[in-house]
A and B are shown apart, each in its own frame.
Chain A
């Protein structure tokens, strides 16, 4: 915060001034007074962990939410948007992660969608439409072919089309929400050129990202949010990665405390997973379209974390083990039995369980009852000659609900009606009994409230204590530090480093380690 005063680079009035903005959602303080200044022609990166308040501020600026307190000024005039239309009229344009383009239409069609030039009889003036779009792209220095079909373009160019579309009209402030999450390095370069061109014309750009490397490549300044407050604003050329990570994670982060208590708790259980034991699960040079010679050993009773950025291949490692992706070369084995030619059904029979990333899409049949969901993966256990033993199925469901403390009127309750935490417990319950040999967990506490989260941690520890090998993917570093006996860093489909509990540092160190393991780290130094 001290830095803020000292770095204001020029005396010119800011394009956007956010001053002490607050926002509450029910009992949650999403923003507790954040401030932000964007200059005309500047690319300003906005950083922070999930829940730090970045998206809330963007939604306020784009008119989706209204702030409870503080002030927002654009060009010195107070601004408070009650609808996205008002925000657009004031010159604010937002490009979200998920693209909103019509893939079957051309770039020009997409840009002019809803404002097509028409004849008096309502017929489209096709030539004029293309000409207008081309003129616009040229005026913005955006290297796009107006006639190209959007669906046929590489992702970076689609992203650029989206930006161009956002720039139609008189835009003063462009907000980009993690625009590079699906881009290759080359595509990223192309997109960055386009963003610089936009800024050079005097537009202020807010660039939201999780990737610190990008901050150093594209931004002039960077602001970090933490827990709904400012954690510092820096001139990019005068800061470094360690300082930014420190700001993101915070000096006295709860992790450190949580870590020490967790260590105390799990001491008895963390001693036995002896390193001499033979691994339950072994990957030797496993490769496929997303994995690149992955090596991994998972021991019985161990909780093994997989840390890395989104898109690094963590999820794909789990999917490959579970038979959702083929093993093209290398060897995967469970208790010495090959998993190379497996599918989910066979993986389940061999004792592998997966709690997938998206419980609504992958984990649950929302319209069905708790009992149906709980028994689905292991129907053969509750059947004789293909006929369901209803009593044994419902006894199992009731027992699992009881064991996992699922709060619901009964096993016949539709899963859709449960809270996020209870839904996640049902997903865990699918694999609770009999115990799996290997439990694969993909972001198991996303969208789960704090209380249920602790209960789920208990379930995970209990599974490990009962002898399952647990492989845990999480973007929440404090979660990894709390739960894991070992943590492996995943970069581009490979495990680059594995660290044991006694070598764990703080969340800051882990974060730093993940960022530094990125292939293009030279830019960041």
Chain B
């Protein structure tokens, strides 16, 4: 058996060696896995340029800052990685976040001022919207683009309706500490949550039976069906996962601002999707990995941060960001 092990990738497998955790570590993935070598180079160049251009860029404080700012996108993007690998899309994540935040804060205001109650309400609301997305997509066979376009609108509307567009104040100190302001060894809670979610995502996608099935369902749904994969369940679960993570993101955001607002993070789904695609996922399903997504999210975050430090106007920032995303995807995709 050992003699059949090929020592290195021969020329024919070059570039085609995709997502093969079997026998390869996650680090190898990051370094040689997909094709975003260009992405790593771009990231490095960006870091160098910003360091030279701004004296404040290269500091631990600033990197913690970037980490905090990208938390919401990074966490949701881990779920979105599963959705996109299974050949679907979820446009509703920003609205899900808003509604989950309202639900968490209202639960603490009216049910019990206990952080567990808030967490369960927030995560549960996110999971429920994910379940709705998944069930409508797989059972009624409506394209997920349309289903989640609907929930994007519906969930945002509900969030605005419950308090008639007013924010809900949160007063629970544990809640602030756990999701927003606490820290361990100087690392802020939001960054710890990001790390935790990323590691869990890596384990689930690359080391579990479920992860394998996600790849198969997206890589070739018919072949997956013929191999006994319950595609509907697998896909629905990916939506539930993403919704739940949007719920987690809502807890982090509301803990940071001591309130839940119904009009937060509008348009954030685009940053989430851009991170996933930038990180090497194929929009056609079957390819991608979690660390790539994290990198994609960090690139977008660093770009935002660097442009602010350089004093670029916010309007021009948008233009530059858009151009860089399209260019990066054009270079890294086939």
Query: CB of A376 within 8 A of chain B?
Result: yes
Binds B, one of A1-9, A234-242, A295-303, A394-402: A394-402
Residue of A with least CB distance to B285: A367
Evaluate contact between A367 and B209: CB separation under 8 angstroms: no
Q: Shortest distance in angstroms between B278's beta carbon and chain A's nearest beta carbon?
A: 20
* B78-120 residues at the A interface, CB under 8 angstroms: none
Query: Which residues on B sit within 8 Å (CB–CB) of A365?
Result: 215-216, 219-220, 223-224, 286
Evaluate contact between A379 and B212: CB separation under 8 angstroms: yes
Q: Shortest distance in angstroms between B293's beta carbon and chain A's nearest beta carbon?
A: 18
Q: Shortest distance in angstroms between A139's beta carbon and chain B's nearest beta carbon?
A: 44
Evaluate contact between B6 and A354: CB separation under 8 angstroms: no
Residue of A with least CB distance to B16: A414
User: Which of B23, B230, B287 lies in contact with A390, CB distance below 8 A?
Assistant: B23
Query: Which residues on B sit within 8 Å (CB–CB) of A354?
Result: 226
A-B contact count (CB 8 A): 135
Q: Shortest distance in angstroms between A418's beta carbon and chain B's nearest beta carbon?
A: 10
* A361-401 residues at the B interface, CB under 8 angstroms: 361-369, 371-372, 375-377, 379-380, 383, 386-388, 390, 393-395, 397-399, 401
Query: Which residues on A sit within 8 Å (CB–CB) of B230?
Result: 343, 345
Query: Which residues on A sit within 8 Å (CB–CB) of B18?
Result: 367-369, 414
Q: Shortest distance in angstroms between A333's beta carbon and chain B's nearest beta carbon?
A: 19
Query: CB of B10 within 8 A of chain A?
Result: yes
**A390-B23, A410-B4, A412-B6 are known contacts. Are A372 and B226 too (CB-CB below 8 A)?**
no
Evaluate contact between A376 and B23: CB separation under 8 angstroms: no
Q: Shortest distance in angstroms between A323's beta carbon and chain B's nearest beta carbon?
A: 9
Evaluate contact between B22 and A412: CB separation under 8 angstroms: yes
Residue of B with least CB distance to A375: B212
Residue of B with least CB distance to A376: B227
Evaluate contact between A390 and B22: CB separation under 8 angstroms: yes
Query: CB of B208 within 8 A of chain A?
Result: yes
Q: Shortest distance in angstroms between B58's beta carbon and chain A's nearest beta carbon?
A: 39
**A372-B216, A394-B22, A398-B1 are known contacts. Are A367 and B223 too (CB-CB below 8 A)?**
no
Evaluate contact between A366 and B220: CB separation under 8 angstroms: yes
Query: CB of A348 within 8 A of chain B?
Result: yes
Query: CB of B20 within 8 A of chain A?
Result: yes
Query: CB of A344 within 8 A of chain B?
Result: yes
Evaluate contact between A368 and B208: CB separation under 8 angstroms: no
Evaluate contact between A417 and B222: CB separation under 8 angstroms: no
Query: CB of A411 within 8 A of chain B?
Result: yes
Evaluate contact between B223 and A361: CB separation under 8 angstroms: yes
Query: CB of B154 within 8 A of chain A?
Result: no
User: Which of B13, B21, B223 lies in contact with A364, CB distance below 8 A?
Assistant: B223
Query: Which residues on A sit within 8 Å (CB–CB) of B213?
Result: 376, 379
What are 18 A-to-B residue pairs whose CB atoms are below 8 Å?
A345-B228, A349-B228, A356-B226, A361-B220, A361-B223, A367-B286, A369-B22, A371-B20, A372-B212, A376-B212, A379-B213, A383-B209, A386-B210, A394-B22, A398-B4, A411-B4, A412-B22, A413-B13
Top-6 shortest CB links A-B: A410-B6, A365-B219, A345-B228, A377-B227, A348-B228, A414-B16
CB within 8 Å of B: which residues of A? Answer: 322, 324, 343-345, 347-349, 354, 356, 361-369, 371-372, 375-377, 379-380, 383, 386-388, 390, 393-395, 397-399, 401-402, 409-414, 416-417, 430
